[in-house]
Structure 1
Amino acid sequence: MRTLCASTLIGEFFVIGFAGLVAMKQPGLTAGTVWAVSGIAMALCVLLCGMLGRRGGLAAGWVLQAGLVASGLVLPTMFFLGAVFAALWWASIHYGRKIDEAKARHAAQTA
């Protein structure tokens, strides 16, 4: 599960970076504001990769997904991309757990 979730977070890292480039073109937003918000979100993606095995790591990932969807208020395209990554996050957790269970069953059978 951790591998799938970390892959999703790294994909989000890049999407947030590219969204920051697009957001700089929005009137009323300064480059400093855009990169402060984008930089924090990008750092959270990387930090969450390390927190996935700890208590609250998955919940923090859901908070990040909600923030990504909410960024659609600034860039409307992010409503769509946020929903896509929220679905990927769910799939990473759901199917990752199934893979972990199958690995554990296989290890028990071979032992």
Structure 2
Amino acid sequence: MRTLCASTLIGEFFVIGFAGLVAMKSDDLSMGTVWTVCGIGMLLSVLLCGMLGRPGGVQLGWVLQIALVASGFVVPVMFFLGAVFAALWWASVHYGRTIDEAKARWAAQAAAAAQGSAEADAA
């Protein structure tokens, strides 16, 4: 799960940066405000890559997804991109857990087979 989720978060890092470039053209926002908000979002996306194995890491990822969709009020195309990345986040979490469960089953079967062959060799 961590690999898929981290890939999604790194993609969001770049999207947030590009959205900041678009938001800079707005006359209503100062450049300092844009880059403070974008910098926090970009930093959070990178830090979340390391927090995915900890409790609350996935939930913080959902908070980032909501913020990404809400950024559409400043850069309208972010409504679409935020929804796309929220769907990618869901898929990363859902299918990542499915893959992790399959890996655990496979490892248990391999360990049982190794133990069975070791007992057969001992006899």
- 1:86-105 → structure 2 map (5 Å cutoff): 86-105=86-105
CA distance in 1 between counterparts of 2:22 and 2:56 reads: 31
CA distance in 2 between counterparts of 1:89 and 1:28 reads: 31
Show the counterpart of 1:108.
Answer: 108
Task: Tell me the amino acid that sits aligned with residue 39 of structure 1.
Answer: G
Deviation string, structure 1 residues 26-54 (Cα, Å, up to 9, x no partner): 11111111000000000000110111000
**TM-score using structure 1 length:** 0.99
Percent identity over the alignment is 79
Deviation string, structure 1 residues 51-106 (Cα, Å, up to 9, x no partner): 10000000000000000000000011000000000000000000000100110111
- 1:1-111 → structure 2 map (5 Å cutoff): 1-111=1-111
CA distance in 2 between counterparts of 1:46 and 1:84 reads: 19
Deviation string, structure 1 residues 11-32 (Cα, Å, up to 9, x no partner): 0000000000010001111111
Q: Which one has a bigger Cα radius of gyration?
A: 2
Which runs of 5 or more structure 2 residues have no equivalent in the other structure?
A: 112-123
Task: Tell me the amino acid that sits aligned with residue 9 of structure 1.
Answer: L
Which runs of 5 or more structure 1 residues have no equivalent in the other structure?
A: none
CA distance in 2 between counterparts of 1:27 and 1:71 reads: 16
CA distance in 2 between counterparts of 1:46 and 1:76 reads: 24
- Equivalent pairs counted in the alignment come to 111
**TM-score using structure 2 length:** 0.89
